[in-house]
């Protein structure tokens, strides 16, 4: 169990999501950029051109690198607009949402908490949520 000093400085949220979700959260006031020449943002907008490595890098940065983040929000699905690369290559939304599923499912630290959120166009899917699946296993479901 971590000490209070491990958690007292975790005052920011981070978000990995589609443009609509990130924009809404930034408008709500969660945006933060660290000071200095190597300034880091606490958000990543994911679209059809975003590489898996960029998503994994942001996830690692938010969960391991930054000690000021208390909660990481991540979209379960990425919105798919007509004409986007997702439609062009006939990828399903579940494939897109699962691009870093292995990282989310194996993440076990208490801080920052990783919470999956729905996107504008797709409802929350409790079957995909790693936190809810862990809770169900604890209760023997």
- Along the 141 residues of the chain, how does pLDDT read in single tens digits? 455 556 678 889 999 988 888 999 999 999 999 888 888 999 999 887 888 899 999 999 999 999 999 999 998 866 555 444 444 444 444 444 567 888 888 888 889 999 888 877 766 776 777 777 777 777 877
Is residue 55 within 8 A of residue 46, CB to CB? The reply is: yes
Q: What string of H, E and C letters represents the secondary structure of the chain? A: CCCHHHHCCCCEEEEEECHHHHHHHHHCCCCCECCCCCCCECEEECCCCCCHHHHHHHHHHHHHHCCCEEEEEEECCCCCCCCCHHHHCCCCHHHHHHHHHHHHHHCCCCCCEEEEECECCECCCCCCCHHHHHHHHHCCC
Instruction: Show the domains of the chain with their CATH numbers.
Output: 4-138 (3.40.50.10580)
pLDDT at 2: 52
Q: What is the pTM of this model?
A: 0.76
């Amino acid at each position: 169990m971590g000490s209070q000093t491990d958690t007292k400085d975790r005052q920011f949220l981070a978000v990995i999501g589609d443009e609509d979700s990130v924009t809404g959260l930034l408008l709500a006031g969660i945006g933060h950029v660290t000071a200095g020449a190597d300034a880091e943002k606490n958000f990543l907008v994911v679209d059809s051109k975003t590489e898996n490595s960029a998503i994994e890098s942001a996830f690692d940065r938010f969960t391991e690198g930054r000690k000021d983040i208390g909660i990481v929000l991540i979209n379960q699905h990425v919105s798919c607009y007509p004409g986007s690369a997702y439609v062009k290559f006939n990828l399903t939304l579940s494939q897109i949402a699962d691009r870093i599923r292995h990282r989310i499912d194996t993440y076990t630290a208490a801080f920052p908490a990783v919470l999956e959120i729905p996107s504008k166009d797709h409802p929350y899917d409790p079957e995909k949520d790693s936190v809810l699946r862990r809770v169900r296993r604890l209760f023997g479901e």
